[in-house]
């Protein structure tokens, strides 16, 4: 039996990696960790490390738009959804919802609308084109535990 060898070791984190998104054709990874760092990797070498969240990152996603190849998204328990320019490693836009920690997000195909799932068992639609962060609650869950993920038929979600 042939041994399976790792392509790379992601050594920049000091806590658990909670979310990984991948683009197979480019061998590119986007990662998010409980230490509030996210990173982009083109295997086998690290490209950039980004930090702007102040709490555990719960989900990371690549942009669904081919024209936005350096735009990525993240959400965290700090109640923020952030967009990133990974070519320079900087946060370019933030929506913060007070006291609503996020556990997952899904980006719609247009790249400007996001579904966010929160620890209070609600799902909201966020419009990233608005500087006032237009928000509409679309569902309330009556589960006793948190939903693990949010997916919409038009959303792009690439998980490993």
Instruction: Look at 104 and 28; give whichever has higher pLDDT.
Output: 104
Structure tokens at 99: 């006291």
Percent of the chain residues topping a pLDDT of 70: 71
Instruction: Look at 118 and 137; give whichever has higher pLDDT.
Output: 118
Residue 30 has pLDDT above 80, yes or no: yes
Tens of pLDDT, residue by residue over 38-78, are 888 777 666 677 888 999 999 998 887 766 667 889 999 99
Whether the CB-CB separation of 131 and 95 falls below 8 Å is answered with no
- Alpha-carbon distances of 34 from 46, 52, 58, 122, 142, rounded to whole Å: 18, 13, 8, 22, 27
Measured CA to CA, the distance from residue 38 to residue 57 in angstroms comes to 8
pLDDT reported for residue 13: 78
* Topology classification of domain 17-156: Methylamine Dehydrogenase; Chain H (2.130.10)
User: pTM score, two decimals?
Assistant: 0.76
Average pLDDT score, the chain? 78
Measured CA to CA, the distance from residue 121 to residue 134 in angstroms comes to 19
Measured CA to CA, the distance from residue 31 to residue 58 in angstroms comes to 10
């Amino acid at each position: 039996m042939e041994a399976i060898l790792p392509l790379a070791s992601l050594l920049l984190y000091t806590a658990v990696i909670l979310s990984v998104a991948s683009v197979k054709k480019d061998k590119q990874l986007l990662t998010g960790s409980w230490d509030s760092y996210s990173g982009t990797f083109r295997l086998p070498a690290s490209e950039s490390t980004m930090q702007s969240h102040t709490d555990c990152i719960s989900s990371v996603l690549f942009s669904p738009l081919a024209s936005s190849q350096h735009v990525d998204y993240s959400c965290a328990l700090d109640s923020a959804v952030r967009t990133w320019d990974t070519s320079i490693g900087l946060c370019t836009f933030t929506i913060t919802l007070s006291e609503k920690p996020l556990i997952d997000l899904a980006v719609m195909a247009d790249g400007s609308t996001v579904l966010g799932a929160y620890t209070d068992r609600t799902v909201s639609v966020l419009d990233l084109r608005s500087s006032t962060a237009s928000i509409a609650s679309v569902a309330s869950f009556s589960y006793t535990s948190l939903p693990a993920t949010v997916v919409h038929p038009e959303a792009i979600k690439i998980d490993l």
